[in-house]
Amino acid sequence: MNLQEYAAHDATGLAELVRSGEVTPAELAALASEAVEKVNGTLNGVIEVYDDALDQPAADGELFGGVPFLRKDIGATEQGRLVEMGSRLCEGMIAPRDSFYTQRAKASGLRFLGRTTTSEFGLHGTTETLMCGATRNPWDPERIAGGSSGGAAAMVAAGVVPMAHASDGGGSIRIPACINGLVGLKPSRGRVTAGPAMGHPKLTTELVVSRTVRDTAAALDALAGNQLGEPFDIPEPERRWRGSLEAPTKPLRIAFTTEAPNGAAVDPEVAANIEATAAALEALGHHVEPGAPEYGFERLQDAFGKLFAVVGTGAISILSERFGRPINEDFLEPVTLRWHEVATSLDALTYDDALATCDRIARRMGLFHQEYDLALSPVLTRLPPLLGTQGGTQHHLSHAQSVELVFDLFPFTPAMNLSGQPAISVPTGSSREGLPLAAQFVSRFGEERMLLQVAAQLEEAMPWADRRPEIHAAA
């Protein structure tokens, strides 16, 4: 097998080749390492390929036996491996254990080969850090690759691995999936365990970015489920998610909008793609009409700015003490310091009020879903901006200005982190310049099945598998 053949398969397809004996896990690992060598000098999405990446024992999990996999450098941990979270404050930090996510991923047969870049503590919708530099977009290397799972998405889009670990606290699966032309599902809060290091997952959940709907569904099959001591339980469906893709899909009521909830300007190409997606859904037999949930955007923005500051920077004081490194610009980016200042200034009543806003949004979304099965919207308001215009390295940005930047570019994604609902980004089109355009779908809490079924329908009606960026392992 060569790189062209390797990159033509998704994770499910590669696992089938391993099971049939047509290729070995060691050969796949070598091809993934070769792909990293070919594209990473330009894209800068991989921090580390393990020294023993080619010597690890073959994985034999049923779903993904032997398929190469990369983990984002925040969240899922591997015992004895570095986890630095894009921050100089954490340089050299070694994980004491495999997270539950990692245990399940390895049990499914995924073969961990290294780490991908992330924004510092996952705080930003671009992956540009003082520690690791800028991760570039394989479709246009002058533009952002998205964040905070930008390294993962760039490597999947460039054919290095068929799917990679990703996490989402404000859109960090959906945003880079949109920008890189991938499938990105943010599961319901708690669907994928955050343990053992984290208790209540608050805003964040983990899964993957992938090139196909069937890989995303299979990844959810592998990774979803509770462990002892979980703060709450979500019942699992009778039929596994991969199997549900073949099940008949009833006609759905879908509300769509091309308008940002905060009034931010939406690029005409972005809007046209949502209208084309709505038309495709109508042709598939669904009832589609203009509409959008009403959840009170000003309160949402205020609550998100406070909660995400706590979630993103809450461990800084502990890490500073652990490593004997001061909380200053020698070890933290300027915007991270601003977010940390906000987090440490909040009193208990203010924090509780922000949590109450999450409940309010969830209840309003519940009312919306009494009338509509799905909400359809853009992911970003415009095409991905140039590098150097977003992120945490800009000295002039206050916390408030940073939040404004977030909601100017992707006002559609954070609400689902506050409500806990599942949402998916699907690459349904291309811009005049050939850049990916995407649609976001949101369903009721616990209803990932419906999102995956609709995504599979669109994958067939509006195929994206043959679209490849200019920077690609098979080029």
Q: What is the CATH number of the domain that holds 336?
A: 3.90.1300.10
Instruction: Count the domains in the chain.
Output: 1
Catalytic residue among 87, 99, 148, 244: 148
pLDDT at 228: 79
Angle between helical axes of 150-157 and 25-43 (0-180°, round to 10): 110
pLDDT at 183: 98
Look-up of token digits 């409500």: 419
* Residue 471 domain-assigned (yes or no): no
33 tagged catalytic: no
* Residue 9 domain-assigned (yes or no): yes
38 tagged catalytic: no
pLDDT at 221: 96
Beta strands per DSSP E along 284-399: 287-290, 374-377
pLDDT at 394: 87
Look-up of token digits 């671009």: 126
> Taking all residues of the chain, what is their mean pLDDT, rounded to a whole number?
95
Distance of CA 121 to the CA centre of its chain: 14
Domain that holds residue 271: 3-461
Exposure class string for 103-128: b at 16+ Cβ within 10 A, else e? bbbbbbbbbbbbbbbbbbbbbbbbbb
* Residue 148 domain-assigned (yes or no): yes
* Residue 467 domain-assigned (yes or no): no
Catalytic residue among 33, 108, 119, 172: 172
Burial tier of 154 (Cβ tally within 10 Å: 0-12, 13-18, 19+): buried
- DSSP per position, 34-94: HHHHHHHHHH--EEEE-TTTTTSPPP--TTTTT-EEEEESSSS--TTSB--TT-GGGTT-B
Q: What is the pLDDT along the chain (475 residues), one digit of tens a residue?
A: 999 999 999 999 999 999 999 999 999 999 999 999 999 999 999 999 999 999 887 777 789 999 999 999 999 999 999 999 999 999 999 999 999 999 999 999 999 999 999 999 999 999 999 999 999 999 999 999 999 999 999 999 999 999 999 999 999 999 999 999 999 999 999 999 988 887 777 899 999 999 999 999 999 999 998 887 888 778 777 668 999 998 878 999 999 999 999 999 999 999 999 999 999 999 999 999 999 999 999 999 999 999 999 999 999 999 999 999 999 999 999 999 999 999 999 999 999 999 999 999 999 999 999 999 999 999 999 999 999 998 888 888 899 999 999 999 999 999 999 999 999 999 999 999 999 999 999 999 999 999 999 999 999 999 998 899 999 999 9
Half-sphere exposure of 22 (CA within 13 A, CB side): 10
Give the three-class secondary structure for 356. Answer: helix
* Residue 472 domain-assigned (yes or no): no
Catalytic residue among 33, 38, 72, 443: 72
Tally Cβ neighbours within 10 Å of residue 367: 11
pLDDT at 238: 65
Asked if the bond preceding 188 is cis, omega within 30° of 0, the reply is no
Beta strands per DSSP E along 151-294: 163-168, 183-186, 205-210, 253-256, 287-290
Instruction: Give long-range contacts, CB 8 A cutoff, 24+ apart: 287-291.
Output: 287/251, 287/252, 287/253, 287/254, 288/254, 288/255, 288/256, 288/376, 289/254, 289/255, 289/256, 290/255, 290/256, 290/257, 291/255, 291/256, 291/257, 291/372, 291/375
* Residue 470 domain-assigned (yes or no): no
* Residue 243 domain-assigned (yes or no): yes
Q: Are 391 and 126 in contact (CB under 8 A)?
A: yes
Tell me the Ramachandran region of residue 187: left when phi exceeds 0, alpha when psi lies from -120 to 50, beta otherwise.
beta
317 tagged catalytic: no
For residue 442, give the nearest of 256, 204, 249, 166 by alpha carbon: 256
Instruction: Compute the distance between CA of residue 259 and CA of residue 256 in angstroms, rounded to an integer.
Output: 9
Instruction: Compute the distance between CA of residue 61 and CA of residue 439 in angstroms, rounded to an integer.
Output: 32
* Residue 359 domain-assigned (yes or no): yes
